[in-house]
């Protein structure tokens, strides 16, 4: 299966077979759309629809991930520019950047070039990286985050809580937002889990970061998270990831 995917990936990148879907993030108290996350979808002519959980790790290992990340970002930028041109509202969109891409020496230059090409305001782009990233080289990660911030970009730490880092590493890495991993949200009804989530929320708040609960699926999880003091969440309970056209057509923002 891996070999099949790997073979098709080369063509897929060349033919731009990837599509950016977006999943809105919702403010729990006011119900407003806080932002969105871009998620890659791949409908291969030969393999059909392939899950990112399958093709992203293969693309990472094969050294193709930079192309995919940037194709997704470009689609988001085109969309934002069109909405702005039409006088429509835009909200910040997070793009997932794999660690090997984030650490690539050309990452920031490529990013700036693309953003300038579409006259985008960096404030509307959130660079989302996984928590495990800091394990590679925390000093370098710190420098990158400072640079991104000084250029006006927002930053987000994905799947927080399942990596091997400690809460205190957040002090050194000044992300704009922190995304609490879905595994905590699924077990939020358990006392111990709720306590951990509350601690993460408090820590994030004192560091002036926005916390986002990932993968909220039920009303019960929604109510519990609100009680604990979580402000923003993303999950099937509100929206599934959807094509950009659907956001426009249904006037979701």
Helix (H) or strand (E) holding 68: helix 65-85
Q: Could you give the dihedral angle defined by the CA atoms of residues 245, 234, 42 and 176, in that order, rounded to the nearest 10 degrees?
A: 100
- Ramachandran class of 19: left when φ > 0, alpha when ψ lies in -120 to 50, beta otherwise: beta
Q: Which of 185, 180, 183 is nearest to 221 (CA)?
A: 185
Neighbour tally for 7: CB within 10 Å: 12
Nearer to ligand C2E, 95 or 173 (CB): 95
Q: Which stretch binds Mg ion (CB under 5 A): 46-54, 76-84, 90-98, 146-154?
A: 90-98
Q: Which stretch binds ligand C2E (CB under 6 A): 92-100, 104-112, 138-146, 225-233?
A: 92-100
Minimum CB distance to ligand C2E smaller for 71 or for 84: 71
Asked if 235 touches ligand C2E (CB under 6 A), the answer is: yes
Q: Does 23 contact ligand C2E by CB under 6 A?
A: yes
Among 28, 33, 34, 98, which residue interacts with ligand C2E (rule: CB under 6 A)? 98
| CA–CA gap between residue 187 and residue 165 (Å, rounded) | 21
**CA 86 to CA 67: how far, in whole Å?**
29
Q: Name the one range near Mg ion by CB under 5 A: 5-13, 15-23, 197-205, 211-219.
A: 211-219
Chosen residue from 47, 52, 81, 198 binding ligand C2E by CB under 6 A? 52
Residues near ligand C2E, by CB under 6 A: 23, 39-40, 51-53, 56, 65, 68-69, 72, 96-98, 158-159, 215-217, 234-236, 241
């Amino acid at each position: 299966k891996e070999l099949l995917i790997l073979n098709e990936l080369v063509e897929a990148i060349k033919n731009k077979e990837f599509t950016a879907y977006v999943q809105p993030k919702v403010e729990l108290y006011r119900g407003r759309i806080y932002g969105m996350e871009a998620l890659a979808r791949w409908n291969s002519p030969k393999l059909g629809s392939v899950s990112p959980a399958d093709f992203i790790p293969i693309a990472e290992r094969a050294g193709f991930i930079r192309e995919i990340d940037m194709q997704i970002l470009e689609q988001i930028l085109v969309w934002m520019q069109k909405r702005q041109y039409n006088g429509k509202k835009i909200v910040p969109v997070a793009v997932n950047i794999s660690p090997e891409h984030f650490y690539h020496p050309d990452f920031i230059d490529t990013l700036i070039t693309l953003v300038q090409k579409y006259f985008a305001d960096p404030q509307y782009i959130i660079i989302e990286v996984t928590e495990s990233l800091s394990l590679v080289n925390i000093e370098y990660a710190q420098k990158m985050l400072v640079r991104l911030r000084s250029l006006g970009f927002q930053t987000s730490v994905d799947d927080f809580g399942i990596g091997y880092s400690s809460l205190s590493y957040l002090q050194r890495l000044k992300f704009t937002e922190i995304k609490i991993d879905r595994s905590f949200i699924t077990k939020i009804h358990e006392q111990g889990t709720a306590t951990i989530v509350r601690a993460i929320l408090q820590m994030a708040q004192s560091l002036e970061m926005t916390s986002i609960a990932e993968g909220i699926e039920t009303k019960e999880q929604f109510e519990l998270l609100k009680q604990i003091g979580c402000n923003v969440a993303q999950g099937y309970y509100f929206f599934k990831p959807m094509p950009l056209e659907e956001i426009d057509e249904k006037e979701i923002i």
